[in-house]
Chains A and B, each alone.
Chain A
Amino acid sequence: MERIRVLIAKPGLDGHDRGALVISQALRDAGMEVIYTGLRQSAEQIVRAAVQEDVDVIGLSSLSGAHNVLFPAVVKQLKEEEAEDILVIGGGVIPVYDIARLEEAGVEKIFTPGTPTGLIASYIEESVKARRGEETRLFQKPRGVDHIGIAVTSIDEAASFYRSHFQLDIQDVVEVPEQGVRVAFLPLGSVTLELLEPLGENSPVQKFIDKKGPGLHHLAIAVEDLQDRLTQMKRSGVQLIDEEPKTGAQGHPIAFLHPKSTHGSLLELVERKDESADGHV
C-alpha cells in the first residue's frame, strides 16, 4: 500500500514537544512519512500544511490545557477547506472528561500519556486503510480452531482412552527435541487433538504438568499472514512468546502468545500454506 503520510502539529503556544518528537520518530520507524510543524501553529497553518503535504492524518499535541479550543478549531478548519477526509487524532495532558467532548467535536481519537507508540502506529494504519477503502485483512476473523493441545504424562495411556471411548486413532507421532516434546495427532472433525508428552525434566510441558497437572495446554488458531499479525500485535503491546514464526510439529509456521496478554490462555497461531483438505496432511 501507498506510504501513510502524517502531519504532527503543535497548536497554540505550548512548547513541550518531547511527545510530538517521539511520536514523529516512532511513526517514521513504523514506515510512515512524517512532517513535524514545529511550535506555535494556528489552525489555519496546520490545515494549510496538511493539504499541501497531502497527508492522511493530522496528529495534534498540546500539554497546556488549551485542547478544548485548539483541537476542534483544526477540525472546523478542515471542513472549511473541504479536507475532512484527513483523520485528526490528538494527545497530551488531556483530562478524561474532555476526551468524549473532543471526540464529539470530530477528533477521531485521543491518546493519553503512557500509550505505547506502537499502538498509535497500528491505529493509524488500520484507520487509514479503512478510509482508503483498502482491504483490512488483518481484521478478518481467523479461519477457525486448528488444534487443541493437551498435556499428558504418557501418550500411550492417553491415546488408549481416546481410542476406546471415542474411536479416535493416532495419525502420526512426532518428536520435537528442541521444544522437549513428543506429539501425537488425533484428527477430530476439522480440528486435531495434539497429545503432548514431555521429553525430559526441562521440557516446558513437564513444567506445565508440575504446576497445573495434565490437561488442556493450549489452543491453536488458524490464521493467514502470521508474520503481519505478530508485527501488529507486538506494536499493540501484546506480549509474544515468539516474535518470529517458527516451525511447528507439523511443519507449518507457528507462534505462541504469552498468557499474560491473553487473559490466561496459552494461544498458538498457525499458518497453513497448504489450503487443501483443511490442511491435515
Chain B
Amino acid sequence: MEDYKEAYAAWQKEVKEQLKKRPERKDTFRTGSRLDVERAYFPEEIDNAYIEKLGFPGRYPYTRGIRSTMYRGQLWTMRQYAGFGSAKETNERFRYLLDQGQTGLSVAFDLPTQIGYDSDDAMSLGEVGKVGVAIDSLEDMELLFDQISLGDVSTSMTINAPAAVLLAMYIAVAEKQGVPPEKIRGTIQNDILKEYIARGTYIYPPKPSMKLITDIFEFCSREAPAFNTISISGYHIREAGSTAVQELAFTLANAAAYVEAAMEAGLDVDEFAPRLAFFFNGHNDFFEETAKFRAARRMWAKMMRERFGAKKEKSEQLRFHTQVAGSTLTAQQPENNVVRVALQAMAAVLGGTQSLHTNAKDEALSLPTEDSARIALRTQQIIAHETGVTNTIDPLGGSYFIEELTDRLEEEAFRYIERIDEMGGAVQAVESQYMQREIHRAAYDAQKRLEKEEDIVVGVNKFQAGEEQAPDLMAVDDAFVKEQLHRLKTLRERRDSEKVEAVLEELKAAAENGENMMDVIVKAVKVYATVGEICHTLRNVFGEYTS
C-alpha cells in the first residue's frame, strides 16, 4: 500500500502534467460569495483506509473519478440520443443539436435496423423509422452524416446485434470524407448480453454473438484504436425494473464475460480493455445513484487489476455514459419530468459521468419535440455552468452516508457477481434466465409498492391534477416510409449485384470458418450490401435466438 504522502505527490504530479495538456476551465474557481474552491477536498487525517477505498482523483481505485482534474479540466460530453424517420430528417436534427452546443452525436436506429431487417422486410411492418432512423445501406449512412465532419465529432451508436455492420458503414463514410479509421471517435453499444436480459434486440444465439463482438475488439485495436468497441450497459437492465444493486452487478458480470471471451480469443487484456466503455442509468434515489457510480468505478478497477491482471491504468478506468431513467417519466403532468430529469442528471454529475443524456419531458408520450429536446439539453448546461458543482472533484466524497452507501452497494453487487460466477458466468446466467427472473421480481415488487402507495410518484398515485392538458407531441410522418422503400428498390437495381453476392459468399465462409468477420463486413457495406442482407447471411450460418 502506497503511503499518503507518496500518493498525494503522485496525484500532484499528474495534475501538473494534465494542466500542461489541458488547462482547467478557469484560473480560479469560486463560490457565489467569491470564496476559493479547491481542486479537491480530503479528510483531515489521512490513513491507509482512505488510500485503499477512495484514493486520489484519477488514481486507483478511482472512486473519486478517473481524471486528475475532472470537470475543472473538461466537462462531460453532452450527448443527446436522437433519431427518427429518414436519414435526411435525422441529419437535420443532428445539425440543429450541434448548433445548439451539443458536443457529441448519439444515433437512435429504428427497430428493423437494430434487428437486422431491411425496411422492405415483412417483419419491419409498422416499425420503419419509428424509434430511430432507418438505415438500410451505406447510402442512408452517407445521408445521415451529410455535412458533419466525422473527424471532428464523436458518435455513439445504439446498435448491438448488427453493430459490426453499422460500424463498417461509419468507417466507410469517414473514408469517403477523407478521414482514416484511426481518426474516428465514438462508441458502438455492441452489448448483446443485456439484449437477452432486458432490451430484446438480439438476432443470433449468445455464442456466435460473442464471437462477433470479439472480432470487433480485434479489428478495432488494429484499425480504429480510438473507437470504443462496446458500451456495456446497465441502463436497460435498470429500465427493465432492476434495483441499483442488480444494475451494478449484472453490468459488471456481463463486462467480465466480454473480457474473458476476448482473452480466450487470444487478445491481450491491455490491448482491448482501454476501449471498453460503460453505460448506466441515472435514477431517482439521489444518493444511492451517486454512490452507485462511485462503487462501479472501484469495483471495475479491482476486477481488472486483481482478476484479469490488467497492467495499464487505462484498462482499470471505468468510463461511463449516463442516461437518466426513461421509465421514471410520467405521462401524467409531463412538465414535472423536467424536474425529475434535472435531479437525476445532478446525481450522475456528482457521480462523475463522462457523458450524459438528459431525457425530454414528453418521452413517456412520444418522441421529443424540438422544444422539449432543447430544454433537456439546457438542463445539462444549467448544471454545468450555473450550479457550481463542477468546481471541485467528487464534492460528496467523504460524506458518511455516501461512503457507507458506496461500500454497501459494492458488497451487495459483488455477492451477486459471485453467484453468477458459480453458475459459470454471465452467458450461462443469461441462458438460464437467472438475471431475467431477478429483474422481473424486482419490477413486480416495485409495481406493488406503487399501488399500495408505499412508493409515491407525484402526479400518478399522489397529487394528481384535476385536469390534464393535452401536450404538443411529436408525430413521425409516415410519408417517408414510401420514399425509403423506393430508394432501397432503386439501390438494389443500381448496384453491382454480382459483387454483392460474391462478398456475401465470402462472409458466409468467414462465419463458417471462424475467421474475423469484420474485415469482410467492411467490404460488403462498401459495395452497398444492405443491413438485412448481411444479417440474413449470418442468420443462415448461426441461426436465431428465441427466448
Residues of A at under 8 Å CB distance from B? 12-18, 21-22, 25-26, 38-40, 42, 64-66, 68-70, 73, 93, 95-97, 112-114, 116-118, 237
Tell me how far the C-beta of B365 lies from the nearest C-beta in chain A, rounded to whole angstroms. 6
Whether B130 pairs with A66 at a CB distance below 8 angstroms is: yes
18 A-B pairs with C-beta separation under 8 A: A12-B127, A13-B124, A13-B201, A14-B131, A16-B199, A25-B444, A42-B123, A65-B131, A65-B367, A66-B111, A70-B126, A93-B365, A95-B473, A97-B475, A112-B331, A113-B330, A114-B330, A117-B447
User: In chain B between 85 and 133, which residues have their CB closer than 8 angstroms to a CB of chain A?
Assistant: 111-112, 114-115, 117, 123-127, 130-131
Interchain CA distance A40-B123 in the complex, whole Å: 9
Interchain CA distance A107-B114 in the complex, whole Å: 28
Whether B447 pairs with A69 at a CB distance below 8 angstroms is: no
B443 within 8 A of A: yes
Interfacial chain B residues near A21, Cβ < 8 Å: 440, 443-444
Interchain CA distance A21-B447 in the complex, whole Å: 11
Tell me how far the C-beta of B438 lies from the nearest C-beta in chain A, rounded to whole angstroms. 13
Whether A22 pairs with B447 at a CB distance below 8 angstroms is: yes
Whether B444 pairs with A66 at a CB distance below 8 angstroms is: no
Known pairs A64-B131, A112-B331; A118 contacts B366 (CB<8 A):
no
B327 within 8 A of A: yes
Interfacial chain A residues near B130, Cβ < 8 Å: 64-66
Whether B451 pairs with A117 at a CB distance below 8 angstroms is: yes
Interchain CA distance A116-B443 in the complex, whole Å: 14
Interchain CA distance A12-B396 in the complex, whole Å: 45
Interchain CA distance A96-B470 in the complex, whole Å: 8
Whether B240 pairs with A93 at a CB distance below 8 angstroms is: no
Interfacial chain B residues near A95, Cβ < 8 Å: 365-366, 473, 475
Whether B239 pairs with A18 at a CB distance below 8 angstroms is: yes
**Chain B residues touching A, range:** 35 or more
Whether A64 pairs with B111 at a CB distance below 8 angstroms is: yes
Whether A93 pairs with B127 at a CB distance below 8 angstroms is: no
Interchain CA distance A25-B444 in the complex, whole Å: 8
Known pairs A18-B327, A22-B447, A116-B451; A69 contacts B126 (CB<8 A):
yes
Knowing that A12-B125, A22-B447 are A-B contacts, what are 8 other residue pairs whose CB atoms are under 8 Å apart, sorted by A's residue number?
Answer: A12-B111, A13-B115, A25-B444, A40-B115, A95-B366, A97-B470, A116-B461, A117-B451
User: In chain B between 181 and 207, which residues have their CB closer than 8 angstroms to a CB of chain A?
Assistant: 195, 199-201
Chain A contact surface mostly: loop
Interfacial chain B residues near A68, Cβ < 8 Å: 126
| Among A25, A42, A73, residue most surrounded by chain B Cβ atoms (within 10 Å) | A25
Quick one: which of B111, B241, B367 contacts A14, CB cutoff 8 A? B111
Whether B440 pairs with A13 at a CB distance below 8 angstroms is: no
Interfacial chain A residues near B200, Cβ < 8 Å: 14-17, 39-40
Tell me how far the C-beta of B390 lies from the nearest C-beta in chain A, rounded to whole angstroms. 34
B547 within 8 A of A: yes
Interchain CA distance A188-B331 in the complex, whole Å: 49
Q: Which residue of A lies closest to B115 (CB)?
A: A13
Interchain CA distance A18-B444 in the complex, whole Å: 9
Interchain CA distance A122-B460 in the complex, whole Å: 19
Whether B123 pairs with A18 at a CB distance below 8 angstroms is: no
Whether B123 pairs with A13 at a CB distance below 8 angstroms is: yes
Top-7 shortest CB links A-B:
A15-B200, A69-B126, A66-B126, A13-B111, A65-B130, A114-B460, A113-B331
Tell me how far the C-beta of A279 lies from the nearest C-beta in chain B, rounded to whole angstroms. 34
Contact with A along B237-266 (1 / 0, CB 8 A): 001110000000000000000000000000
Tell me how far the C-beta of A135 lies from the nearest C-beta in chain B, rounded to whole angstroms. 28
B332 within 8 A of A: yes
Q: Which residue of B lies closest to A38 (CB)?
A: B547
Tell me how far the C-beta of B361 lies from the nearest C-beta in chain A, rounded to whole angstroms. 14
Whether B444 pairs with A22 at a CB distance below 8 angstroms is: yes
Interchain CA distance A17-B133 in the complex, whole Å: 22
Tell me how far the C-beta of A240 lies from the nearest C-beta in chain B, rounded to whole angstroms. 12
Q: Which residue of B lies closest to A113 (CB)?
A: B331
B490 within 8 A of A: no
Whether A66 pairs with B127 at a CB distance below 8 angstroms is: yes
Tell me how far the C-beta of A64 lies from the nearest C-beta in chain B, rounded to whole angstroms. 5
Whether A113 pairs with B127 at a CB distance below 8 angstroms is: no
Whether B125 pairs with A69 at a CB distance below 8 angstroms is: yes
B364 within 8 A of A: yes
Interfacial chain B residues near A14, Cβ < 8 Å: 111, 127, 131, 200
Interfacial chain A residues near B114, Cβ < 8 Å: 13
Whether B123 pairs with A65 at a CB distance below 8 angstroms is: no
Whether B364 pairs with A113 at a CB distance below 8 angstroms is: yes
Known pairs A13-B112, A13-B115, A114-B330; A64 contacts B470 (CB<8 A):
no
B476 within 8 A of A: yes
B540 within 8 A of A: no
User: In chain B between 394 and 427, which residues have their CB closer than 8 angstroms to a CB of chain A?
Assistant: none
Q: Which residue of A lies closest to B460 (CB)?
A: A114
Interfacial chain A residues near B513, Cβ < 8 Å: none
Interchain CA distance A113-B334 in the complex, whole Å: 12
User: In chain B between 494 and 544, which residues have their CB closer than 8 angstroms to a CB of chain A?
Assistant: none
Whether B330 pairs with A93 at a CB distance below 8 angstroms is: no
Interfacial chain B residues near A22, Cβ < 8 Å: 241, 440, 443-444, 447
Interfacial chain B residues near A97, Cβ < 8 Å: 470, 473, 475
User: In chain B between 346 and 377, which residues have their CB closer than 8 angstroms to a CB of chain A?
Assistant: 364-367
Whether B199 pairs with A15 at a CB distance below 8 angstroms is: yes
B546 within 8 A of A: yes
Interchain CA distance A237-B461 in the complex, whole Å: 9
Tell me how far the C-beta of B240 lies from the nearest C-beta in chain A, rounded to whole angstroms. 5
Tell me how far the C-beta of A17 lies from the nearest C-beta in chain B, rounded to whole angstroms. 7
